[in-house]
Amino acid sequence: MSAHTPKALYRDEGIVLRTQKLGEADRIITVLTRRTGKVRAVAKGVRRTKSKFGARLEPFTHVDLQLYTGRNLDIVSQAESIRAYGQEVVADYPAYTAGTAVLETADRLTAEEKEPSLRMFLLVVGALRALGEKSHPAPLVLDAFLLRAMSVAGWEPALAECARCGEAGPHRHFSVPAGGTVCPACRPTGSAMPSPVTIELLDSLLTGDWARAEASQGINRREGSGLVAAMLQWHLERGLRSLPLVDRSESAPRREASLLSEA
Amino acid sequence: MYEGAVQDLIDELGRLPGVGPKSAQRIAFHLLSAESADVTRLVAALTRVQESVRFCVTCYNVAEAEQCRICRDPRRVDDVLCVVEEPKDVVAIERTREFRGRYHVLGGAISPIDGVGPDDLRVKELMTRLMNGAVTELIIATDPNLEGEATAAYLARLVGPMGLAVSRLASGLPVGGDLEYADEVTLGRAFEGRRRIDA
Ligand SMILES: [Zn+2]
Ligand SMILES: [Zn+2]
């Protein structure tokens, strides 16, 4: 954009993925928007206690934004909160840590700024809603999100057919570098042999078969989480900082209010 | 770039929190033109901090002895413990003159996005302090932001089985701030007030 172009104002909604301090009172916010894709923008004066933005630009918040396009970073002109998922997940530590991993993954898997990714946006909203409403156990919501987010990024794991030659499965061997289950002919050395029940669990999470996923045992959930984390780390050049800190113990039982608000 | 000593000073100043390259340069040239006695006092203050200030062995507040001033004070009550993130929070609460108990300084808040988990804070030390049963009420005064709230939720769940009264300080609104300028989320937090946490 040339320096003479007037600043363009645009409006979009998005989820605040992360914030970074800038100077004395400002923040750079990273937002995954519905239409524009990932946007980095400056929120001026947001750290002052009397800022008009208040807590609306904190991570986990679904916001309606008006932004000016800038040369490097855009500038937030107005923000209205649509739903503050942070308030819902923060009281439940397993949900909070799972949610943080959702936000970091979404940030890392959308490498390009301003490249629309409606599917990733919808996945993040869906995961935060499930964590906030406690509709499913937080660790399962996280693994379902990670599997689907990898698929959106072009790395859908093979869970039935062979990841290399496509031969129909199920296959007993699993290779992280190959991208999922592998047939005996293609199997690279060092392939793992996870429980077939674990592979079924991952398939349930990827396809959204929650009844089957929630019937799973702890041992398969742990093995499944390990495979998902290994696949994700394989694709990202640096590891996720929040993933090792995810608390995979059971969440507090959901309260009456959230039972009522669930459709 | 400047000659050796001046550039070294600018580089060191630039590593301080909130000081950018421009400010570092401004401070460096201010010091160069300042009275020699002023600079000597600054150097002495820095040296004294480095040599004599350490963390209290009990609460991890800054201290000039083995224990901090508050832990040594026999007039403070032992049954109420206030958990804060940083030593500067102790100063802020002391200024209110409302609190007569003791403190525990965590050394930060849980922030998974920065790779900071419970093991990176003085959580184990807190649990050890609570073990002897002297403390009956725990007030969690972590910051009214996401990381502070998550830390409070984590601690409440952890100490839940110990049967203490656990509460969260009413916060979110700046003291003396106008309600009409507070956004809905912050206001919501404040309305909840200092509430008992049931873990
Ligand atoms: Zn094959
Ligand atoms: Zn002390």
Closest CA to A221 of A242, A200, A236: A200
Q: Which residue reads 């997940």 in tokens?
A: A89
Q: Residue A187 burial by CB count (10 A; 0-12/13-18/19+): exposed, middle or buried? A: buried
DSSP string, B89-145: HHHHHHHHT---SEEEE-SS--BGGGTB-GGGTTHHHHHHHHTTS---EEEE---SS
* Residues B29 and B63 both lie in one domain: no
Tell me, yes or no, whether B13 lies in a domain. yes
* Residue B197 structure tokens: 């946490």
Pair B108, B115: CB distance under 8 Å: no
* Residues B9 and B84 both lie in one domain: no
Closest CA to A162 of A142, A143, A181, A177: A181
DSSP string, A201-260: HHHHHHHT-HHHHHT--HHHHHHHHHHHHHHHHHHSSS--SSGGG---SPPPPPPHHHHH
Q: What is the pLDDT of residue A1?
A: 46
The Cα A237–Cα A227 span in angstroms is: 17
Pair A94, A138: CB distance under 8 Å: yes
Residue B112 sits in a domain whose CATH number is 3.40.1360.10
* Residues B68 and B151 both lie in one domain: yes
Q: What is the pLDDT of residues B178-193, one digit of tens each?
A: 344 445 565 455 444 5
Test the B interface: residue of A61, A88, A100 with most B CBs within 10 Å: A100
Residue B20 sits in a domain whose CATH number is 1.10.8.420
Pair B101, B78: CB distance under 8 Å: yes
* Residues B45 and B137 both lie in one domain: no
CATH superfamily, domain at A9-84: Nucleic acid-binding proteins (2.40.50.140)
The Cα A87–Cα A90 span in angstroms is: 6
* Residues B15 and B67 both lie in one domain: no
The Cα B180–Cα A2 span in angstroms is: 40
Question: B197 pLDDT exceeds 90?
Answer: no
The Cα A11–Cα A13 span in angstroms is: 7
Could you say which residues from 151 to 170 on chain B have a Cβ atom under 8 Å away from some Cβ of chain A? 153-154, 157
* Residues B65 and B140 both lie in one domain: yes
Give the Å distance between the CA of A171 and the centre of ligand 1: 9
Confidence band of B171 (pLDDT split at 50, 70, 90): low
The Cα A36–Cα A110 span in angstroms is: 12
Tell me, yes or no, whether B113 lies in a domain. yes
Confidence band of B144 (pLDDT split at 50, 70, 90): confident
Quick one: CATH architecture of A88-249?
A: Up-down Bundle (1.20)
Tell me whether residues A49 and B157 touch, CB distance under 8 A.
Answer: no
* Residues B35 and B85 both lie in one domain: no
Question: B67 pLDDT exceeds 60?
Answer: yes
Tell me the residue type at A111: A
Neighbouring CB atoms inside 10 A of A256's CB total 7
The Cα B109–Cα A16 span in angstroms is: 20
Q: What is the pLDDT of residue A119?
A: 96
Q: How many helices (H) and strands (E) does chain B have?
A: 8, 7
The Cα A45–Cα A26 span in angstroms is: 5
| B191 contact A CB<8A | no
Per-residue pLDDT averaged across B53-80, rounded? 94
The helix (run of H) or strand (run of E) holding residue A145 is: helix A138-152
Question: B105 pLDDT exceeds 50?
Answer: yes
B143: chain A residues, CB-CB within 8 Å: none
Ligand nearest to the CA of A165: 1
* Residues B65 and B104 both lie in one domain: yes
* Residue A224 structure tokens: 């499944």
Q: What is the pLDDT of residue A155?
A: 94
Pair B123, B151: CB distance under 8 Å: no
Q: What is the pLDDT of residues A170-203, one digit of tens each?
A: 999 999 999 999 999 999 998 999 999 999 999 9
Q: What is the pLDDT of residue A258?
A: 33
Tell me the residue type at A16: V
The helix (run of H) or strand (run of E) holding residue B156 is: helix B146-159
Q: Quick check: ipTM above 0.85? A: no
Residue B112 structural domain: 55-168
Q: What is the pLDDT of residue A2?
A: 47
Closest CA to A126 of A93, A152, A157, A159: A152
Pair B68, B53: CB distance under 8 Å: no
The Cα B61–Cα B82 span in angstroms is: 12
Confidence band of B53 (pLDDT split at 50, 70, 90): confident
Q: What is the pLDDT of residue B185?
A: 60
Q: Where are the beta strands (DSSP E) in chain A?
A: 9-22, 26-33, 38-43, 61-68, 74-84, 173-175, 180-182
Q: What is the pLDDT of residue B20?
A: 80
**Stretch(es) of chain A classified as CATH 2.40.50.140:** 9-84
Q: How many domains does chain B have?
A: 2
The Cα A189–Cα B78 span in angstroms is: 62
Test the A interface: residue of B22, B185, B189, B195 with most A CBs within 10 Å: B185
Ranges of residues in chain A with a pLDDT under 50 are 1-3, 253-263
Q: What is the pLDDT of residue B173?
A: 44
β-pairing, A173-175 with A180-182? antiparallel
Q: What is the pLDDT of residue B170?
A: 59
Q: What is the pLDDT of residue B180?
A: 41
B154: chain A residues, CB-CB within 8 Å: 93
